[in-house]
């Protein structure tokens, strides 16, 4: 079954999409220039062949371990978690006895102490992911796990470590060079939120036995036309990523300040969190952008959907469905009359009915909506979705006139946190910190 974007309820007739559609030639030329200069590895995936070899070479190594502890934050963790939840749900189910992936993506003392107390060091591989090698939330945990491994494994501590970082520079690359730790590179110009289909996300996927080849192939199927040196404006205009980018930019012009990512594939719920970072960190700049709002069907029908349908009319929706989810067990036939409508029907029919009802209700309430209907909930479709949304985000940023690849405001928060920890330098940040902390606070008990 094909993968489809349903534009029927996208409100294209009320949006000024022509303003952006006519820029297809300009965007095609820019794509040619940027991909030709090696600036968009998310689209060109020049690392793919070597990555396949590297991953193949890791298989025997990873088989030695029962646990993987992934140290990473933001784009270094969100994609891996989305893949884990989508394609390795049994870790969250009763009786699990296979490999286990644990993701340390926060400054969480409770979780870290639990890992140190309960994970078996000899059967655990610690994977640290940081392109720069300077992300303190991640590298700080690396310092602690390094000492933990030394305490249990002695001189062999490095054999249970794997680093994913810059190929040539940074603190973690120095650790690779000094201790001979296994390492895979994060490709140049590949930002964290675009990196799930690199070693960043595919090492944990491989550990859990996922079909990483299908993930990569699905993404390449979508993005390859955008990286074609012969790309024309006409070809780009017909590409779904460009159409989504045009829609996203035109929505903002009409005051649609929130973009709901409503997932009606339950195991894929964490893709909403992955998309939220992708869209927000890429497009939330210079007083512009639309706020991504992850939502899960049917759970959020009973909570935030009230706001979506009857609150401020500033919301649009990407609605993710798959009509071919498992059917599941059948409802009994001897149900009370008030539930007669489900007698003998398959449990899986319910989510399809709920999804249809919610989609129709949102559209009836005036919410512009594009349904992303997948032919299967498989790794290939996940790769296609990642490729589609990543490319659409880049193109939407360009149409908006902003850089979708940086995150300047995030960097300010990082510098202020380092100032709080008394890192060297940062005189301006330390002065701001002192002023902030010395301000009289309006404190009231509750």
How far is Cα of residue 264 from the mean position of the Cα atoms in its chain? 17
Residue 415's closest CA among 403, 406, 424? Answer: 424
Distance CA 46, CA 64 (A): 30
pLDDT at 166: 95
End-to-end alpha-carbon separation of the chain, Å? 56
Length of the chain: 446
Measured between alpha carbons, how far is 435 from 381 in angstroms, rounded to an integer?
A: 51
Phi, psi of 287, rounded to the nearest 5 degrees:
75, 20
* All residues at 6 or more sequence positions from 40 whose CB lies less than 8 Å from its CB, including other chains: 31, 34, 189, 227, 394
CB 17 within 8 A of CB 251: no
Torsion of CA 24, 25, 26, 28, to 10 degrees: 80
Say how far apart CA 183 and CA 175 lie, in whole Å: 10
The position carrying tokens 């869209």 is 279
Q: What separation in angstroms does the CA of 270 have from each of 78, 88, 274, 369?
A: 8, 12, 7, 20
326 and 292 in contact (C-beta within 8 Å)?
Answer: no
- CA dist list (Å): 383 to 206, 216, 311: 15, 6, 34
The one-digit pLDDT tens for each residue of the chain (446 residues) are: 899 999 999 999 999 999 999 999 999 999 999 999 999 999 999 999 999 999 999 999 999 999 999 999 999 999 999 999 999 999 999 999 999 999 999 999 999 999 999 999 999 999 999 999 889 999 999 999 999 999 999 999 999 999 999 999 999 999 999 999 999 999 999 999 999 999 999 999 999 999 999 999 999 999 999 999 999 999 999 999 999 999 999 999 999 999 999 999 999 999 999 999 999 999 999 999 999 999 999 999 999 999 999 999 999 999 999 999 999 999 999 999 999 999 999 999 999 999 999 999 999 999 999 999 999 999 999 999 999 999 999 999 999 999 999 988 877 777 888 878 778 888 898 888 888 988 998 899 99
What pLDDT score was predicted for residue 418?
A: 84
What is the DSSP track for 228-264?
A: -TT--HHHHHTSHHHHHHHHHHHHHHTT--EEEEEE-
- Interhelix angle for 408-420 vs 136-153, to 10°? 60
Which residues, including other chains, have CB under 8 Å from residue 148's CB and lie 6 or more apart?
116, 121
Residues forming the active site: 281, 302, 414
Query: What does the block give as tokens for 282?
Result: 């890429």
Residue 224: how many other CB atoms lie within 10 Å: 13
Domains of the chain: 4-34+220-400 (3.40.50.10490), 41-210 (3.40.50.10490)
**Do the Cβ atoms of 309 and 365 come closer than 8 Å?**
yes
């Amino acid at each position: 079954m094909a993968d489809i974007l349903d534009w029927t309820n996208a409100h294209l007739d009320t949006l000024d999409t022509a303003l952006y559609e006519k820029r297809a030639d300009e965007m095609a030329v820019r794509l040619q220039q940027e991909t030709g200069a090696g600036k968009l590895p998310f689209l060109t995936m020049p690392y793919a062949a070597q990555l396949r070899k590297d991953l193949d070479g890791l298989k025997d190594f990873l088989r030695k371990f029962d646990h993987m502890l992934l140290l990473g934050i933001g784009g270094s963790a969100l994609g891996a978690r989305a893949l884990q939840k989508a394609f390795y749900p049994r870790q969250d189910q009763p009786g699990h006895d296979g490999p286990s992936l644990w993701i340390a993506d926060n400054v969480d003392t409770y979780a870290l102490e639990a890992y140190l107390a309960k994970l078996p060091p000899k059967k655990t591989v610690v994977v640290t992911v940081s392109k720069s090698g300077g992300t303190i939330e991640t590298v700080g945990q690396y310092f602690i796990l390094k000492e933990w491994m030394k305490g249990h494994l002695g001189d062999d501590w490095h054999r249970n470590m794997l680093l994913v970082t810059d190929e040539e520079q940074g603190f973690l690359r120095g650790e690779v060079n000094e201790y001979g730790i296994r390492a895979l590179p994060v490709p140049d110009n590949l930002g964290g939120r675009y990196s799930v289909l690199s070693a960043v996300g595919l090492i944990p996927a491989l550990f859990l036995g996922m079909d990483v080849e299908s993930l990569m192939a699905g993404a390449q199927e979508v993005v390859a036309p955008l990286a074609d040196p012969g790309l024309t404006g006409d070809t780009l205009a017909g590409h779904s990523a460009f159409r989504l980018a045009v829609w996203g930019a035109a929505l903002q012009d009409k005051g649609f300040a929130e973009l709901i990512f409503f997932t009606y594939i339950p195991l894929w719920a964490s893709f909403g969190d992955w998309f939220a970072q992708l869209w927000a960190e890429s497009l939330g700049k210079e007083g512009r952008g639309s706020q991504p709002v992850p939502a899960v069907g049917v759970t959020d029908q009973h909570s935030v959907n009230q706001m979506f349908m009857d609150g401020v009319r500033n919301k649009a929706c990407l609605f993710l469905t798959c009509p071919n989810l498992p059917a599941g067990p059948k409802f009994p036939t001897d149900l009370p009359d008030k539930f007669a409508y489900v007698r003998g029907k398959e449990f899986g029919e319910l989510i399809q009915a709920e999804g249809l009802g919610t989609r129709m209700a949102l559209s009836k309430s005036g919410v512009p909506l594009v349904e992303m209907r997948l032919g299967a909930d498989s790794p290939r479709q996940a790769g296609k979705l990642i490729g589609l949304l990543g490319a659409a985000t880049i193109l939407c940023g360009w149409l908006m006139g902003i850089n979708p690849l940086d995150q300047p405001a995030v960097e300010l928060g990082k510098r202020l946190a380092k100032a709080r920890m008394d890192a060297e330098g940062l005189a301006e940040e330390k002065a701001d910190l002192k002023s902030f902390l010395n301000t009289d606070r309006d404190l009231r008990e509750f």
